[in-house]
Amino acid sequence: MQRALAGSLMLSLGACPVGVFLMLRRMSLSGDAMAHAILPGAAAGFLLYGLEILPMTVGGLIAGVIVALGAGAVSRFSIQREDASMAAFYLISLAIGVLMVSIRGSSVDLMHVLFGTVLALNNEALLLIGGIAVVTLVALFLFWRALVAECLDPLFLRSVSRLGSPVHFIFLGLVVLNLVGGFQALGTLLSVGLMILPAAAARFWSQRVGPMCVLAVAIGFISCVAGLLLSYHAALPSGPAIILSAGAAYIASILVGPRGVLRSRLVHHRHRTA
């Protein structure tokens, strides 16, 4: 439980701010697609070395980078939009990955790859997740203004700076890195949940990007602690419990957040009566 808590908190530290930028770019479903896209690389590592962290991580990273760069290149050099090319790449990758795991492994191995085992994190996995969190925070610090500018007006950024195209691929690299880190704990199907749900919840509490990222990390922390406690006391799978806790925070934010449904209706009602 202590390792699971440390790993999930470090995941939140890196993944939640990345999720905010994904949401602001309207690429939330692209993040889900890239989460599935790492499966063939992880499956290749599994076929060669079994359930070893380093080979599966390297394989997942390579597969994710190939899919992200491939989909980005198709959208930039053809008439197809990025969401369509990403969907095509991820569907192919998901099918290949499931097929590769099924050839050699059992249904238990497939469940491990798809849903992860946060309670089985070891020192190597914690070091990997911690390293990814550090790299993510450093990259966000260095490219913060460019990332915010690209979210608001990518054409303006490209007209005034040479960072327009590079920062887009740097951001996609950060997404892949954090999905690979989340894969160790939550599997390919749930790793994107800790990235998107806290960010989506924070959107109902703030309009500014900086506070939104801080709130997303805080909501991620609370979700991880609540999910692990729920899994311990109710004998539930830890990964889904964490994501369900984040989902509960999202629903609560929709209802009671300053920009949520109830507050908006109350302000609208006051304006009408005034």
Residue found under tokens 């984040």: 246
Query: Are the beta carbons of 61 and 132 closer than 8 angstroms?
Result: no
pLDDT at 31 over 80: no
Given this model, what pLDDT does residue 238 score? Answer: 84
Q: Which residue has the higher pLDDT, 53 or 141?
A: 141
The 10s digit of each residue's pLDDT in 242-265 is 999 999 999 999 988 887 777 666
pLDDT at 78 over 90: no
Query: For residues 271 and 274, what is the distance between their CA atoms, to the nearest angstrom?
Result: 5
Q: Which residue has the higher pLDDT, 96 or 204?
A: 204
pLDDT at 135 over 90: yes
Confidence of residue 158 (pLDDT cuts 50, 70, 90): low
What's the chain's average pLDDT? 80
CA 98 to mean position of chain CA atoms: 20
pLDDT at 230 over 80: yes
* Structure tokens that stand for 258 in this block: 């300053």
Given this model, what pLDDT does residue 141 score? Answer: 92
Q: Which residue has the higher pLDDT, 86 or 16?
A: 16
* Structure tokens that stand for 43 in this block: 């499956």
pLDDT at 108 over 70: no
Confidence of residue 224 (pLDDT cuts 50, 70, 90): very high
Q: Where are the alpha helices (DSSP H) in 25-143?
A: 28-37, 39-49, 53-77, 82-104, 107-115, 123-142
Given this model, what pLDDT does residue 112 score? Answer: 65
CA angle 139–141–147, rounded 5-degree value: 75
Beta-carbon neighbour count of residue 123 at 10 Å? 9
pLDDT at 269 over 60: no
Instruction: Give the mean model confidence (pLDDT) for residues 117-142.
Output: 86
- Where is average pLDDT lowest: 194-203, 204-213, 237-246, 255-264? 255-264
Confidence of residue 137 (pLDDT cuts 50, 70, 90): very high
Query: Are the beta carbons of 203 and 215 closer than 8 angstroms?
Result: no
Among 247, 214, 241, 215, which Cα is nearest to 227's? Answer: 241
Given this model, what pLDDT does residue 151 score? Answer: 77
Given this model, what pLDDT does residue 201 score? Answer: 92
Query: Are the beta carbons of 217 and 198 closer than 8 angstroms?
Result: yes
Given this model, what pLDDT does residue 177 score? Answer: 85
Query: For residues 19 and 156, what is the distance between their CA atoms, to the nearest angstrom?
Result: 23
Query: For residues 10 and 71, what is the distance between their CA atoms, to the nearest angstrom?
Result: 28
Given this model, what pLDDT does residue 220 score? Answer: 93
Given this model, what pLDDT does residue 49 score? Answer: 75
Beta-carbon neighbour count of residue 62 at 10 Å? 18
Instruction: Give the mean model confidence (pLDDT) for residues 108-133.
Output: 76
Beta-carbon neighbour count of residue 15 at 10 Å? 35
Which domains are seen in the chain, by residue range? Answer: 2-273 (1.10.3470.10)
